[in-house]
Amino acid sequence: MYGATVEPIEDIRTDEEKLAEFEGRIARGEKIEPGDWMPDEYRRQLIRMISQHAHSEVVGMLPEGAFITRAPNLRRKLILIAKVQDEAGHGQYLYHAAETLGATREEMLDALLSGKAKYSSIFNYPTLSWADMGAIGWLVDGAAILNQTMLAKCSYGPYARAMVRICAEENFHRRQGQDIVITLALGTPEQKAMMQDSINRWWWPTLMMFGPHDTDSPNSAVLIRWGIKTKTNDELRQTFVDQTAPELMALGLTIPDPDLYYDETNGHWHFGEINWDEFWNVVKGNGPCNAERMAARRQAHEDGLWVREAMVAYAEKHQS
Amino acid sequence: MSDTHASDTQWPRYMVLHQEREDKPHQHAGTVHASDAEMALLNARDVFVRRPDCVSLWVVRADLIFARTQEELALNPDWLDNIQATSDRTEAYYVFAKLTQKAQFSHIGEVEAENPPHALKMALQKYPKTQGLVWWVFPVKVVLKSTPDDIAAMFSPAATKDFRDQANFHALSVLRKLMRDQKQEAE
């Protein structure tokens, strides 16, 4: 009944004409949509970025999920459950955005479970105390929001729209994190010490989240040219330090960087050099929790097999 | 993964259309994969309705949606003229369109048509003032919809979860006050 014969619509433009038109659209601030012509490299870069981003949301559920049963009261527990649910949803929005470029969800999931795909290195660090829920919400989600606010303006429509939705929800994540940090930092000496220990462990890995220096970031130029990114890794990292450092210090917390100071000459916070050996080591799979995270994902996939089989059996029974 | 995981073969994709308020049209929210339409509706609820802004949810298999971009139609203006009705057996189709670069697909209306291309032709005739960047048409009967009875169980609980709203946290005002007080003290 849907077999109506439809002549495919032929595109007679040359690749040069298409590229010129594509770049013109980006220059005018138009969004590129699924089905529009785009260079293969644009598609490839977007699939790489969006699927990595999706995997990060999915793996990102694990460090916090571990603390749902250890929340200090019912309200905090409800908040944490809601936050972890949001991360699952964000993963789904992003897999959907990548699918509009021709990647399949199955391919992406296989790439994650086989260890071929990358995800944000931050989730390969362990959560050791309740204070880490505060540090993750404020620092890690705060850093993510800066990146995502930029991507909400990116040239690819489905990615930009997913980001708008995600940013709105991530702001709740950051606020609840700040709420935990404030409560602990202004609490008993033991609570404050716990919070300080957490900041000490999460500060540097958070700065690494923005990625390598611009000079060592091979994809940056093409991403900026095609309007996928509009700010560089170093620009975003500086914005994060400028925002976050004075707020943490106002709470009486210290930042584990002896080279950190406010530079009156340029109005920015100067910070020390990141340990890039540590960064690349974690990216290459040798971080404190890489193996644990992958094992947990694979286990969840295996454990869900009977549910998927039951759903297929149900669907088949109702079809016949 | 391994060959034994036959059921891991990707499930069909369903488009999710959600309505924020009674007086607003259904809009495209995204997609979910599911073993059948019923599961798709439940997945759609979990993925897209964690915040209290939904009164109705529809799901439709993505491969049953017929889509054309404005660009495609402009490249071949004769294409529509060549679509002719061949019988009088028609059915109802929903018409959705993407109206601006930023907007999601929005419910425009319904047409009676013989097949999907014919439905698109009818839609363009019926809504001549609508400037769709992309058009979608699909038969009304292939859509699975939530019902008013589902609202209490599917959508209302989100309204009580006020902690999901960043406005209910006062971290920012606490921080600002702290920084203001410290600055005054220093001066």
DSSP states of A65-131: HTTGGG-SSHHHHHHHHHHHHHHHHHHHHHHHHHHTTT--HHHHHHHHHTT-S---GGGGSPP-STH
When comparing pLDDT for A254 and B83, which is higher?
Answer: A254
A179 with B10: Cβ contact below 8 A: no
Region A14-29 average pLDDT: 91
Chain CA centroid to CA B176, Å: 39
* Cα–Cα distances in angstroms (integers) from residue A106 to residues A68, A209, B33, B48, in the given order: 29, 27, 10, 21
| Mean local confidence (pLDDT), A184-213 | 97
What mean pLDDT do residues A281-298 have? Answer: 93
- Chain B hits for A105, CB-CB cut-off 8 Å, are 10, 33
The single-letter code of the amino acid at A163 is M
- Testing the interface with A: which of B47, B83, B136, B160 to mutate, by most A Cβ within 10 A? B47
Which tokens sit at A26? 């980006």
DSSP B41-98: HHHHHHHH-SSS--SEEEEEEGGG-EEEEHHHHHH-THHHHT----SS--EEEEEEEE
Instruction: Please name the member of B35, B68, B98 whose beta carbon is closest to the beta carbon of A312.
Output: B35
For chain B, the average pLDDT equals: 89
What number is the ipTM of this complex? Answer: 0.83
Query: What pLDDT does B157 receive?
Result: 87
Q: Which two tokens stand for residue B15?
A: 């488009």
Residue range A126-163, pLDDT digits in tens:
999 999 999 999 999 999 999 999 999 999 999 999 99
C-beta separation of B58 from B49 below 8 A = no
Check if the beta carbon of residue A207 is closer than 8 Å to that of residue A141. no
Q: What pLDDT does A218 receive?
A: 79
* Mean pLDDT value of segment B152-173: 88
Bridge partner residues of A261 (DSSP): A270
Q: Is B84 exposed, middle or buried (0-12, 13-18, 19+ CB in 10 A)?
A: exposed
- pLDDT tens-place string over residues B21-61: 999 999 999 999 999 999 999 999 999 998 878 999 999 99
Tokens standing for A80? 């944490």
Q: What Rg value do the Cα atoms of chain B yield, rounded?
A: 23
Of B34, B35, B101, the CB nearest to A30: B101
For range A207-232, the mean pLDDT: 90
Task: Give pLDDT, residue A172.
Answer: 94
Q: What pLDDT score was predicted for residue A2? A: 41
Rg (CA), chain A: 22
Calculated CA dihedral for residues A102, A106, A109, A115, nearest 10 degrees: -90
- How far is Cα of residue A97 from the mean position of the Cα atoms in its chain? 14
Q: Is the pLDDT of residue B3 over 70?
A: no
Distance of alpha carbon B24 from its chain centroid, rounded?
A: 13
Q: How far is B152 from chain A (nearest CA, A)?
A: 19
How does residue A7 score in pLDDT terms, banded at 50, 70 and 90? Answer: low
A115 contacts A285 by C-beta, under 8 angstroms: yes
How far is CA A143 from each of CA A135, A136, A243, B64, rounded to the nearest angstrom? 11, 10, 10, 40
Say if residues A102 and A50 touch (Cβ distance below 8 Å): no
Q: What is the pLDDT of residues B131-148, one digit of tens each?
A: 998 999 999 999 999 999
